[in-house]
Amino acid sequence: MAVFYNQANLSYNGGNTNSNIVAGEILEVLSMNKTAINPTYGAGDTVTYAVNIINSGTTPITGLTLTDNLGEYTVGTATVVPLSYVDGTVTYYQNGVLQPDPTISATSPLTITGITVPAGGNTTIIYSATANEGAPLAQGSTIVNTAVITGDSVTVPLSAQGTVTVETEPVLTISKGINPTTVTENSPITYTFTIQNLGNREAVSTDNVVITDSFNPILENITVTINGTPAVEGTDYTYDTATGLFTTVAGVITVPEATYTQNPTTGEWTVTPGTSVVVVNGTV
């Protein structure tokens, strides 16, 4: 609902006087809502949004423009847009019937023009965006993006927000090193397993992190450390000297969460992974 006011002026013989002020209301027939179809995101994930526009009036409303700021926010001197529109993902429905693709006049902010909402009906616009290097990843982070509908038939622009929350989980990778790379028989060798956590939550014992490796050639007289602390066979790991199968016990290895730093000039996030290291020494 939009309220408007009006006042008349009467002039005569060089003088003038004002009338009383009258007030009226324009009943808005358009409304809108926005939904994030997948409510969480991680680095590089695709998020899909649906914007629904409802026309309760008796005539179609044409020439509308939808603008989405893709979660734009400021940090320091930087303006950061954490979502990137995925080309070719806009679909456009009237009363559930797929329509020809609308015109996309810009992608940041995403701007879609030429939208029509049928009388007594609805229009739904669906599109996708990816979480880019400006998307915050620390626990509890959100991306809030705003869609706005404007047009000659819209007295007051309509807006609706979609909010997605970062996933809270460990994201683990593992690499393996060998030293030395060339070794003679009956000589010592070291395998180093480095586990990195790019996620925003520590990998705890209940995540059951396990390293499994079959050493070939089979190692003899192995010793194991986990983050510099000597590991105990049977309690922290098992080793089959007949097959060379090495396995850590589930829950023994934990990996701290990553830390995130944002550049105040560019707005980009840098991820410093949490790390745990398992070292196996033995003789070939």
Confidence band of 222 (pLDDT split at 50, 70, 90): very high
For the segment 132-139, the average pLDDT, to the nearest whole number, is 94
Q: Is pLDDT of 76 > 90? A: no
Question: What is the set of domains in the chain, with CATH numbers?
Answer: 30-166 (2.60.40.740), 172-283 (2.60.40)
What is the structure's pLDDT at 90?
A: 97
Percent of the chain with pLDDT over 70: 97
Backbone angles phi, psi at 206, to 5 degrees: -75, -5
Distance of CA 114 to the CA centre of its chain: 29
Q: For 14-28, 98-112, 173-187, which range has the lowest pLDDT when averaged over its residues?
A: 14-28
pLDDT in tens, 271-280: 999 999 999 9
What is the structure's pLDDT at 180?
A: 94
For the segment 47-52, the average pLDDT, to the nearest whole number, is 97
Rounded to a whole number of angstroms, the CA Rg of the chain reads: 31
Q: Is pLDDT of 3 > 70? A: no
Q: Is pLDDT of 24 > 60? A: no
What is the structure's pLDDT at 10?
A: 84
Residue 147's closest CA among 131, 158, 163? 158
Q: Is pLDDT of 2 > 60? A: no
Percent of the chain with pLDDT over 90: 83
What is the structure's pLDDT at 233?
A: 97
- C-alpha to C-alpha distance for 122 and 96, rounded to whole angstroms: 8
Contact by Cβ (8 Å): 197, 257: yes
Q: Is pLDDT of 54 > 60? A: yes
Contact by Cβ (8 Å): 272, 258: yes
Q: Is pLDDT of 1 > 60? A: no
Q: Which position has the higher pLDDT, 4 or 163?
A: 163
Q: For 76-80, 107-111, 148-152, which range has the lowest pLDDT when averaged over its residues?
A: 76-80
Confidence band of 270 (pLDDT split at 50, 70, 90): very high
- C-alpha to C-alpha distance for 43 and 197, rounded to whole angstroms: 13
What is the structure's pLDDT at 18?
A: 85
Confidence band of 25 (pLDDT split at 50, 70, 90): low
Instruction: Tell me the DSSP string of 189-213.
Output: EEEEEEEEE-SSS-B-GGG-B--EE
State the average pLDDT for the chain.
93
pLDDT in tens, 193-203: 999 999 999 99
Confidence band of 185 (pLDDT split at 50, 70, 90): confident
Q: For 16-20, 71-75, 114-118, 255-259, which range has the lowest pLDDT when averaged over its residues?
A: 16-20
Burial grade of 59 (CB within 10 A; 0-12, 13-18, 19 or more): exposed
What is the structure's pLDDT at 119?
A: 96
- C-alpha to C-alpha distance for 26 and 105, rounded to whole angstroms: 30
